[in-house]
Chain A
Amino acid sequence: MRTVKLTINGKPVIREIEDNRLLVEFLREDQKLTGTKESCGVGVCGACTVLLDGKPISSCLTLAVHADGGAITTIEGIAEGDRLHPLQEAFLAHGGLQCGICTPGQILAAKALLEANPHPTKAEIQHWMMGNLCRCTGYYKIVESIAVAAGAN
């Protein structure tokens, strides 16, 4: 067990964590932040994407102890009260989701993109988002939603 100090969605958290705990398990099971999904479990699909110090990571491949000292952002942390994040609004308005399983990861990956590159081209959106798989939308609506959110920047 190790004591880790981090912030999750801006709130300070201090917890004892088992050495072999994965970040996705810590978030979902210990913190009950079940917006983050685990799907492939091998870092390929992107469903478990969260931000660590602003960077998109696979929480299924990250040791929870590696979040010590860091700032984690999950899907639960990006709206401001009842006001959805512009990416959430854009995904809703432009059909960027259907079943929703991949959506938290899509939105967090897109958030990191727009922070690194506020006005990406369509090709830049496709390159960055390539690792977030979606079995419903065919991606067109996801790319469109992100482009719309970027336009509102």
Chain B
Amino acid sequence: MIPFTYLEPSSLDEALTLLAERGADAKLIAGGTGLVNLMKQRLVRPEFVIGLRALKPLCGIVENGGIRIGALATIQALEASAAIRRQAPLLAAACGHVATVRVRSMATLGGAVAHADPNLDTPPALIALDAEIVAHSRRGERKIPADRFFTGYFETVLDPDEIVTEILVPEQPAGSGTAFLKFLPATRDDYATVSVAVRIALSTNGAITDARVALGAAATVPVRAKAVEAALTGKGADEKNFREAADLVREAIDPIADFRGSAEYKRKMAIVHVRRALSQALSEAKKLS
């Protein structure tokens, strides 16, 4: 493994100071499933690795109308959390699809967003839930909507002195249903060929009042498909409208060809899985109403 100096702050203040001093030469590490792989492949060579594991207050999952999720909460803790399952079953479902039990017990939600690999399962779920990402630096705190957080392959709006401290999932709209689908034609632990997170809210007469459609593994960033959302809003929640709206995802994404499929194949699978996710979200909404 490449050499580096490991630093382990015991408080957020100490971590922020270290990062303010070393930010350009430092990488933060939580579970390590992302960073250690990048370091092993020598894609990242930080001089300093700053371990966050002593910052225990950042592990919490707290209901406050919505849910405040500490950045160091593990994927497994989220998958198992009664609060997440009740209030944001979409996120629990996405967490249950993450890689393997080992990755789920090591990796954290804050790590997943900061790592910004567009193939990950949790970012589309956070976008569909209208989540915000809280970043701290010595200059203060800011909240960034999940759909504006990711800027490129492994890139985010975070400045070098900022740490993701929390993810805020707001209270979800009344009458809404969600679905997460991960298309995995090869093995169960793989990255998605395409993943889809959907939330639709229905009025009492069954019209769609609000829609969120987000995709993973579909471009250099997790994608929010606003054209699909716009095509759904105000329409009746039926298969014909789902089909017409889902077709618009073709132009919303920019998948790469790789061993999981050609770009065209992924576009077709995205259309199919958006339609299926909408149908599933509709039945969830009906179950809850």
Listed in ascending order, the chain A residues whose CB lies under 8 Å from chain B are: 2, 19-22, 41-44, 46, 49, 55-58, 61-63, 65-66, 109, 112-113, 128, 130-132
Contact = CB atoms under 8 A, between A and B. Distances in A.
A57 B106 contact: yes
A132 B33 CA distance: 16
Interface string B24-47: 000001001100110010000000
B10 interface: no
Closest 7 pairs (CB-CB, A-B): A131-B100, A19-B6, A55-B105, A61-B36, A20-B1, A58-B102, A130-B188
A43 B76 CA distance: 16
Contacts of B8: 65
Contacts of A131: 99-103, 189
A114 B36 CA distance: 29
Given A42-B37, A43-B36, 19 more contacts: A19-B6, A19-B49, A43-B100, A46-B102, A56-B101, A57-B102, A57-B106, A61-B33, A63-B6, A63-B32, A63-B51, A65-B8, A65-B51, A66-B32, A66-B51, A113-B101, A130-B101, A130-B189, A132-B100
A43 B104 CA distance: 11
Nearest to A62: B32
B6 A65 contact: yes
21 contacts: A19-B4, A19-B6, A19-B49, A41-B40, A43-B99, A44-B100, A44-B189, A55-B76, A56-B101, A57-B105, A57-B106, A58-B106, A61-B36, A62-B106, A109-B101, A112-B101, A113-B101, A130-B100, A130-B101, A131-B103, A131-B189
Interface residues of B, number: 26
B106 A22 contact: no
B4 A43 contact: no
